[in-house]
């Protein structure tokens, strides 16, 4: 009997994967592969709460799959799948939406943020997406959900829904815990270092994408916002820009903050920006090259996502059948 704990996570293919996605999520996923049973999805169903160009969504989904693998996610060790290929997510999502309270959904920070940004398209999916997100997690009976500090609310509402359902029907779902990596969990914007790096900042130079060319990476770091001092010191409150650059360099070069401070003692921010830019270029180069190679082999990628969906569906369907029986649906 395999008693490994189960992990579920995913990223929406609604834009390009960023350096923040890699350092804050995917790099950590790779390190979890041996210790846990891991399910990693491309969350295309969540992506359509905001209007997407269909051809672009398809392209980005395949690009994201190639990048997952290029970043080191082994399809043999991990179940990698496209969310919409496993109907159990939508099936359980509907049931759970009937056990999610209106007040809970209206308090969700992400709904407020996205409503403000998409005033012409405040749709029901945008409001009820936490029920689908709960289904994503609970359908695999996940023990742990890797999230950033800012996403703990998603796991909390998922637990509330599971507790409510278990209270009515008896033990059905495991209660997942948020899994927050110790380092590099939150990479900030290069232009607005008080905000998390976001794929929506591509045009402003605030974010670095995994598939960016070296010259555009170096240019973005050269323009990175710092402060009026000259000292390279890790102090996120007083020096958010410099601290963010140090955080990125620490992960890419495998150095401590003390080592970085010593390395740049007596040097200016220009040296720091150039060095961090070069470290990021070299970190992303093999990933970009391997992703390009994988994207030229569409048959291989299709085999990966089909095998992943089959494996995911086997686990997910067991949970859905159990839930259907508990709520009183007639068996097939």
- CATH of residue 260's domain is 1.10.240.10
Determine the structural domain holding residue 176 and report its residue range.
6-180+298-327
Coil, helix or strand at residue 228: coil
Whether residues 172 and 316 fall in one domain: yes
What confidence tens digit (pLDDT) does each residue in 108-134 have? 877 777 777 777 778 888 889 999 999
Whether residues 26 and 151 fall in one domain: yes
**Inside any domain, residue 185:** no
**Inside any domain, residue 191:** no
Provide the β-strand partners of residue 214: none
**Inside any domain, residue 61:** yes
**Inside any domain, residue 192:** no
Interior angle at CA 185, CA 183 and CA 191, nearest 5: 115
Whether residues 134 and 279 fall in one domain: no
Element containing residue 38 per DSSP (H, E) = strand 37-42
Name the residues annotated as catalytic.
Answer: 114, 196, 199
Domain count, the chain: 2
Nearest residue to 301 via CA among 37, 111, 69? 69
Whether residues 19 and 65 fall in one domain: yes
What confidence tens digit (pLDDT) does each residue in 269-304 have? 999 999 999 999 999 999 999 999 999 999 999 999
Residue 311, C-beta contacts closer than 8 angstroms, at least 6 positions apart: 79, 81
Whether residues 210 and 307 fall in one domain: no
Phi and psi angles of residue 178, each rounded to the nearest 5 degrees, phi first? -70, 140
pTM higher than 0.85 for the full model? yes
Contact 261, 289 (CB under 8 A): no
């Amino acid at each position: 009997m395999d008693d490994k704990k189960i992990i579920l996570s995913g990223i929406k293919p609604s834009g390009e994967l960023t350096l923040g996605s890699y350092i804050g999520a995917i790099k950590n996923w790779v390190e979890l592969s041996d210790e846990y049973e891991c399910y990693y999805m491309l969350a295309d169903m969540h992506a359509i709460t905001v209007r997407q160009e269909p051809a672009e969504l398809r392209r980005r989904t395949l690009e994201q799959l190639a990048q997952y693998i290029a970043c080191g996610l082994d399809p043999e060790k991990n179940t990698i799948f496209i969310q919409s290929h496993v109907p159990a997510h939508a099936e359980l999502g509907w049931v759970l939406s009937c056990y999610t309270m209106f007040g809970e959904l209206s308090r969700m920070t992400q709904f407020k943020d996205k409503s403000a940004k998409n005033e012409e398209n405040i749709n029901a999916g945008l409001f009820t997406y936490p029920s689908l997100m709960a289904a994503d997690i609970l359908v695999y009976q996940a023990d742990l959900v890797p999230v950033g500090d800012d996403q703990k609310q998603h796991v909390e509402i998922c637990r509330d829904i599971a507790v409510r359902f278990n209270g009515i029907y008896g033990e059905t779902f495991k209660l997942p815990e948020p899994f927050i990596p110790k380092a590099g969990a939150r990479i900030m914007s290069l232009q607005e270092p008080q905000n998390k790096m976001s794929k929506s900042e591509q045009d402003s130079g605030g974010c670095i994408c995994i598939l960016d060319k070296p010259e555009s990476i170096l240019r973005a770091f050269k323009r990175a916002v710092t402060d009026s001092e000259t000292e390279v010191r890790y102090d996120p409150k007083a020096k958010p820009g410099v601290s963010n650059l140090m955080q990125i360099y620490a992960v890419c070069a495998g150095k401590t903050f003390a080592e970085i401070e010593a390395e740049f003692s007596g040097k200016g921010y220009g040296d720091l920006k150039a060095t961090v830019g070069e470290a990021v270029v070299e970190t992303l180069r093999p990933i970009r090259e391997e992703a390009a190679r994988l994207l030229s082999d569409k048959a291989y990628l299709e085999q990966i996502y089909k095998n992943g969906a089959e494996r995911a569906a086997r686990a997910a369907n067991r949970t859905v059948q159990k839930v259907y029986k508990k709520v009183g649906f007639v068996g097939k």
